[in-house]
Every structure is written in structure tokens, then in C-alpha cells.
Amino acid sequence: MIPQLVAARAAEAPDAPAVISDSGVLTYGELDRRANRLAHHLQALRVGPATLVALALERSLGLVVGALGVLKSGGAGDRGANRRATAARALARDRAR
């Protein structure tokens, strides 16, 4: 449902801001194009229904694109991936000391 709403808004008003953050602004057109590109890449990797895709990104424009791209691919996002990745990096850093 969310991918269809974003696509509809991108068709209506592609230059309208969709995501605003400290690092910049993504319009609906840009968001939809980037998410579609990611979705096609994920589908080429055989991501589909019941496939979990980890999104280990900080809060950013890329995270929004990633989440939408995963949904468009038919996969499911793993919201805990970022916490686990952060914990794994901390553990590796501690072991390196």
C-alpha cells in the first residue's frame, strides 16, 4: 500500500518534497525512482515475499529509499538490523582493543 501511495504522489507532484532531513530533500519523483532502482536490483537478487532484507543504516534519506525499495521488491524490512549491526561493530571494536 505504501509503495502505491508514493508512486501515485510521484505521478501527481514529482517535484513535491517527500522527505526532508538535515542532509537534504528528496522529492516524490526522486524517492520513487531511487526506490524502483533498488527494488529491481533486489528482485534480481531473488528478493521476494517472505524474504527479510536487513537495513543497517542510520536515519537518513538512504534509509527511507531502502525501506521503500524493499517494500517495492516484495521483501520485508528487518527493523532490528541496525541495532544488531551497531552492537556487532561495538563488539568488534572492543575485541580489537
Higher pLDDT, 33 or 80: 33
User: What's the average model confidence in pLDDT over 57-86?
Assistant: 79
User: For the segment 20-69, what is each residue's pLDDT rounded down to a tens digit?
Assistant: 998 899 999 999 999 999 999 999 999 988 788 888 788 889 999 999 99
* Whether the predicted pLDDT of 78 surpasses 90: no
Beta-bridge mates of residue 27: 17
Cell for 36? 524502483
- Structural domain boundaries in the chain: 2-96
Give ∠ CA 46-44-3 in degrees, rounded to 5.
85
Identity of the amino acid at 25: V
- Looking at the structure, give the CATH architecture of the domain made up of residues 2-96: 3-Layer(aba) Sandwich (3.40)
